[in-house]
A and B are shown apart, each in its own frame.
Chain A
Amino acid sequence: MPLATVYLTIMPNQMIATIFDGLTRGMLYVLLALGLNIILGLMGVINFAHGAFFALGAYITFTLSQRLGLFPAIIAAALCMAVLGMIMESTFIRRLYSRPPEHVLMFTFGAFLIIVQIIRKIWGDTPQPLSPTGFLAGSINLGFSQYPTFRLLVVALTVLVLIIVYLILVRTNLGLTIRAGTRDSEMVSILGINMPLTFTIVFGLGSLLGGLAGGLEAPLYNIDPNMGATYIIIAFLVVIVGGIGSFWGAVVGGLIIGLLQELTVQLIPGGSSAEDIVPFAFMLLILLVRPRGLFGAEGLFD
């Protein structure tokens, strides 16, 4: 009998709570990976700075929450990251599109290092705790157990954001431009569409998702300057598992990885030491079966 079945029979409520924890964690991965994936899909930029935007989003949330309250701070931090992303694209990254792809990769990696050092300078090296306050600090009875309100907010907000991003992609002119540009951005500009502007907007959108993930992560775990490095690796892994440029790939991939990690930690004795390995093992498995990822063969934001 598989281990999970054993747990489900003897401790059904704990099992359901673990699944919820996994989904919450997965939601963070989904947001982070989706932002990364839209940028990678449209502009072909492997954006390491995304991890730094994630960390910066968490720290700005941390600081702003003392004045604005937690929820407004999360939104404000995400918007700050959108602006920062647009500035970075329009001042630096734009100049690198015509160069070999490793140049822009080195730039985003450098930007990541610089932003992390700035975080250290401002907030210091030690991890900072940030707890949900007021209404968000409580818990809600879901039947199987009391579940923290803030975690439910993470799930609800992520689902809402995913719906919005999806509607942007399939219903708006911007979405039409993104879906077309992901396949052939030069042809889109031949049709008269201002692609440089579109790139800047999309970079802002992607960075917003990264910053939002950071803000939502901050009250769940401690924040520290290195948090971006850990998460960006998982986010890349989710992109690979889901398929480069795929909306549903990021969603399904992120949730699976979050669930797998949480189940490993909770169900396997000593599992927390395997927490970082499980996603890689899963990625290798997927790549053996579907080399272009779960949704990769079907293509990009179709």
Chain B
Amino acid sequence: MFLEARELNTYYGKSHVLQDVSVDVDRGEVVALIGRNGSGRSTTLKTIAGVTPPKRGSVTLDGRDITGMKPYTIARQGVAYVPEERRIFPNLTVLENLKLATLAGRKGRWDYKKVFAFFPRLDERKTNAGKSLSGGEQQMLTIARALIQNPDIILLDEPLEGLAPVVAQAIQKAIMEMKAEGMTMLLVEQNARVALAVSDRAHVLSDGRIVASGTSAQLRDDQELVQRYLSV
């Protein structure tokens, strides 16, 4: 597998947030992590990205061990992490936000032209400050920032959260298009229906453990599982 996370154990202080979580993602695959809030989905992404390093366990990328590396080193290995809070720089313009991502990013198919063609709305707003963007535009920019680094894998955390239905649909469509382009993704999404619709495989998390895994088609049909771990 391209990305292999093995038995990750991550703590926030004394609280044991991830307990032996193992996740694999192959090239070109979209894998979803689903589960209720607080089940450890976002922490799994943060742990892989190096933001919250694991106490035990390992992460390898194309066979190279990246466990415990600093976030900027992991990013340079080709892992782009798109945080839940979007974290657009409010004092920088859209263009500056993208430029910052190119500084250490790799050259490749995704350049300004392709990114702006992918999100025409960002092209219209490229000289506007980050703080003036709507929630949907911020989400587009934070995804664009990941794409322009030309990563091998994108860790996408709650891309639809807090968006109006129409905007959420547009972002979902963008994710589908990225998948069609062959982008490898590990996706965390609150809306399990959406997550299972866009992904090839999925893991269900509960209380920091993986409780079920399978192809997204299998999990979609498992009503009992949905009742138990996913419905609010």
Q: Chain A residues in contact with chain B, CB under 8 A?
A: 173, 176-177, 179-180, 182-184, 186-196, 299-302
B99 at the interface (CB under 8 A from A): yes
A6 vs B110: C-alpha distance in the bound complex, in angstroms? 67
B109 at the interface (CB under 8 A from A): no
Q: Which stretch (B23-31, B100-108, B214-222) binds chain A?
A: B100-108
Indicate whether A173 sits within 8 Å of B49 (C-beta atoms), given known contacts A184-B89, A192-B76.
no
B122 at the interface (CB under 8 A from A): no
Q: A177 — which chain B residues lie within 8 A by C-beta?
A: 100, 103
User: Is the CB–CB distance between A194 and B72 below 8 Å?
Assistant: yes
User: Is the CB–CB distance between B92 and A190 below 8 Å?
Assistant: no
Chain B contact-residue range equals: 20 to 34
Q: B145 — which chain A residues lie within 8 A by C-beta?
A: 191
Q: A190 — which chain B residues lie within 8 A by C-beta?
A: 49, 51, 71-72, 75, 81, 83, 87
Chain B positions 66-88 with a Cβ under 8 Å from a chain A Cβ: 70-72, 75-76, 81, 83, 87
Partner of B51, one of A176, A186, A300: A186
Closest to B102 in A: A191
A302 vs B70: C-alpha distance in the bound complex, in angstroms? 28
Q: A194 — which chain B residues lie within 8 A by C-beta?
A: 72, 104
User: Is the CB–CB distance between B70 and A191 below 8 Å?
Assistant: no
Chain B positions 92-148 with a Cβ under 8 Å from a chain A Cβ: 92, 96-97, 99-101, 103-105, 145
Most buried by A among B83, B89, B145: B89
Indicate whether A187 sits within 8 Å of B103 (C-beta atoms), given known contacts A193-B72, A194-B72, A195-B72.
no
Indicate whether A193 sits within 8 Å of B51 (C-beta atoms), given known contacts A179-B91, A300-B91.
no
| A-B contacts, 9 listed (Cβ < 8 Å) | A176-B99, A179-B89, A184-B87, A186-B71, A187-B83, A187-B87, A190-B72, A190-B75, A192-B75
Q: A180 — which chain B residues lie within 8 A by C-beta?
A: 89, 91-92, 96-97, 100
Q: Apart from A179-B96, A187-B89, what 6 extra A-B contacts exist at CB < 8 Å?
A: A177-B103, A190-B51, A190-B71, A190-B87, A191-B72, A191-B105
Closest to A188 in B: B100
User: Is the CB–CB distance between B72 and A173 below 8 Å?
Assistant: no
A191 vs B81: C-alpha distance in the bound complex, in angstroms? 8
A191 vs B76: C-alpha distance in the bound complex, in angstroms? 8
Q: B97 — which chain A residues lie within 8 A by C-beta?
A: 180
Min CB distance, B156 to chain A, in Å?
13
Partner of B105, one of A179, A189, A192, A195: A192
Q: A302 — which chain B residues lie within 8 A by C-beta?
A: 91
A179 vs B105: C-alpha distance in the bound complex, in angstroms? 18
A190 vs B86: C-alpha distance in the bound complex, in angstroms? 12
User: Is the CB–CB distance between A192 and B103 below 8 Å?
Assistant: yes
User: Is the CB–CB distance between A189 and B75 below 8 Å?
Assistant: yes
Q: B182 — which chain A residues lie within 8 A by C-beta?
A: none
Q: B101 — which chain A residues lie within 8 A by C-beta?
A: 191-192
A10 vs B97: C-alpha distance in the bound complex, in angstroms? 56
Min CB distance, A117 to chain B, in Å?
36
Closest to B142 in A: A187
Q: B49 — which chain A residues lie within 8 A by C-beta?
A: 190
The 9 closest A-B pairs by CB, nearest first: A192-B104, A192-B75, A189-B72, A187-B87, A302-B91, A180-B89, A189-B71, A192-B76, A191-B101
B38 at the interface (CB under 8 A from A): no
Chain B positions 169-228 with a Cβ under 8 Å from a chain A Cβ: none
Indicate whether A191 sits within 8 Å of B92 (C-beta atoms), given known contacts A176-B99, A184-B87, A186-B51.
no
Min CB distance, B84 to chain A, in Å?
12
Closest to A299 in B: B91
Closest to A196 in B: B70
Q: B90 — which chain A residues lie within 8 A by C-beta?
A: 183, 299
B58 at the interface (CB under 8 A from A): no
Q: A186 — which chain B residues lie within 8 A by C-beta?
A: 51, 71
User: Is the CB–CB distance between B103 and A173 below 8 Å?
Assistant: yes
A192 vs B152: C-alpha distance in the bound complex, in angstroms? 14
B39 at the interface (CB under 8 A from A): no
A182 vs B89: C-alpha distance in the bound complex, in angstroms? 10
Most buried by B among A184, A195, A301: A184
User: Is the CB–CB distance between A191 and B91 below 8 Å?
Assistant: no
B47 at the interface (CB under 8 A from A): no
B43 at the interface (CB under 8 A from A): no
A188 vs B149: C-alpha distance in the bound complex, in angstroms? 13
Q: B103 — which chain A residues lie within 8 A by C-beta?
A: 173, 176-177, 191-193
